[in-house]
Amino acid sequence: MNKHYYVIVMAGGIGTRFWPFSRVERPKQFQDILGIGQTLLQMTVKRFRKICPISNIYVVTNQTYGALVREQLPELSEEQILLEPFMRNTAPCVAYGAYKIAKKDPQAVIVVAPSDHVILHQDKFEEAITTALRAAQKHDAIITLGITPTRADTGYGYINIEEQLLVEDVYKVRTFTEKPNAEIAQAFLDSGDYVWNAGIFIWHNRTILQAFRRHLPEIHEVFETITPKFYTEEEAQAVYWAYERCRSVSIDYGIMEHADNTYVVPCNLGWSDLGTWKSLYEYLPHDTNNNVLSGNIITYDTFNSLIKSSSERLLVVQGMNNYIIVEHENVLLICHKDSEQQIKYILDDVREQKGAEFL
């Protein structure tokens, strides 16, 4: 186990596309979505136990969820829980972790991972991550994991791979394409030259700091300014000052799409980002009617649907095909699977018409 390997887990999202199960007070990463006795956040941290020391795993989350992180990951120290005062997308999140780790260990090589992914093949995951970490330690490279696509999915980003190698199994990235339409996604799949962007990044700390300096100089300046405050009692106030001055921008748009030193490790990990109810439906086992059922449920003439209840209330469903039906606390959602992207717009209407108690 290399003492210079670190992990930044991004755990600040609200998970709106998993509403009503994912709520503002307890988003999906803090819930046992799969019903296995572990939350998605706990599964993510456990995944890296053989990659680096537990003391080198940092979790970045909104300050609202600090207590949830402490409750679910009591093995982490306070300095490992990075609390964001505002939501500013993933670039400031990554910057906070990277600049703080840089103060502790200038030789750090970092994995950045979302907290809501599922990976079935742990051995293949560790192999791919180790390959990327070793390459990043020796080369000025921004590396991501590329998942072998199994379908023409329009919900994922795609990476076009060149034949050029950095080292064995690490290929140069030609282009990134974010969420193509169905026709383009099918063409990507047919070509065999594309992989899904898993959103898991690996780099030497000096590489990502140089990338911030070059591509997001305003974010670089504020975090470089507050670096002396890290690991002190003044950190929270300094971070508040920094976030006030950061615009909301993703690491993909702010850096990955502009950098010319991007590489990918193609792999087949049994991966899902669990970004939507439909992705959960595709991941979980199906019954003889191709339904995914969780809870106290009886179905008649119902097919190809995900039906989930978190209470003892009996749900009887008849005559539905290709639907998402989720009952949780004070909300019942009934939505066609092909229309699930509308959930984020539904939430806007719920907020305006019914109030925050339903969010």
CATH code, domain carrying 107: 3.90.550.10
The domain boundary, picked from 272, 303, 332, lies at 272
Q: What is the domain count for the chain?
A: 2
Q: Which pair of structure tokens corresponds to residue 163?
A: 């034949």
Is 231 in the same domain as 130?
yes
Strands 170-177 and 262-267: antiparallel
Is 67 in the same domain as 182?
yes
Tell me the HSE value of 245 on the side-chain side, using a 13 A CA sphere. Answer: 16
Is 139 in the same domain as 18?
yes
The domain boundary, picked from 272, 298, 319, lies at 272
Question: CA 215, CA 95: separation in Å to the nearest integer?
Answer: 12
Determine the straight-line distance between the first and last CA of the chain, rounded to whole angstroms.
42
Q: What is the dihedral angle through the alpha carbons of 50, 13, 236, 53, rounded to the nearest 10 degrees? A: 0
Largest CA distance in the chain: 64
Does the N-terminal peptide bond of residue 20 adopt cis geometry, omega within 30 degrees of 0? Answer: yes
Q: Which pair of structure tokens corresponds to residue 240?
A: 């508040």
Is 172 in the same domain as 312?
no
Is 202 in the same domain as 300?
no
Is 93 in the same domain as 23?
yes
Is 346 in the same domain as 222?
no
Is 11 in the same domain as 43?
yes
Per-residue pLDDT of the chain (359 residues; tens, 9 = 90+): 799 999 999 999 888 889 999 999 999 999 998 888 999 999 999 999 999 999 999 999 999 999 999 999 999 999 999 999 999 999 999 999 999 999 999 999 999 999 999 999 999 999 999 999 999 999 999 999 999 998 888 888 899 999 889 999 999 999 998 888 989 999 999 999 999 999 999 999 999 999 999 999 999 999 999 999 999 999 999 999 999 999 999 999 999 989 999 999 999 998 988 888 988 998 899 999 999 999 999 999 999 999 999 888 999 999 999 999 999 999 999 999 988 888 989 999 999 999 989 99
Domain membership of residue 288 as a residue range: 277-358
Is 103 in the same domain as 217?
yes
| The model's pTM | 0.93
Is 128 in the same domain as 219?
yes
Strands annotated E in 247-302: 262-267, 271-272, 292-294, 297-300
The domain boundary, picked from 231, 254, 272, lies at 272
Is 248 in the same domain as 295?
no
CA 147 to chain centre: 14
Is 285 in the same domain as 249?
no
Of 88, 121, 95, nearest to 201 by C-alpha is 95
